[in-house]
Amino acid sequence: MPKLVVINQAGEERAIDAATGRTVMEVIRDNSFDELLALCGGCCSCATCHVHIDPAFADKLPKMSEDENDLLDSSDHRDANSRLSCQLPVTDAVDGMRVTIAKED
């Protein structure tokens, strides 16, 4: 089972198990990281699951869709490593990926 290292908004890190076939958003949410709101439940319609991913894993993730890009444009905290965690599937390729929960807008 892949592991993710999640960094909360206070900078605290915690390694969590991430079942393949789920999304990074579901895994973070289900591991009691309450600051990841994920209000739309994973429909790519709100950007409240904004995270910053480890750039070393960028090529192991699906390409960003136009919808995801548009939603991230609404964030003051967007950077080159920003993604919506609801759009990131957990696969064996992301084992060890560090994910930082973005500050809320």
Summarised one tens digit per residue, pLDDT across range 70-86 is: 999 999 999 999 999 99
Domains in the chain, please, with CATH? 3-101 (3.10.20.30)
Q: Strand order of the sheet with strand 82-84? A: 13-17, 3-7, 97-101, 50-53, 82-84
For residues 18 and 28, is the Cβ–Cβ distance under 8 A? Answer: no
| Weakly modelled stretches of the chain, pLDDT under 70 | none
What is the pLDDT at residue 105? Answer: 82
3-state SS class at 13: strand
What is the pLDDT at residue 89? Answer: 98
What is the pLDDT at residue 25? Answer: 97
What is the pLDDT at residue 85? Answer: 98
Give Cα 66 to chain centroid, integer Å. 17
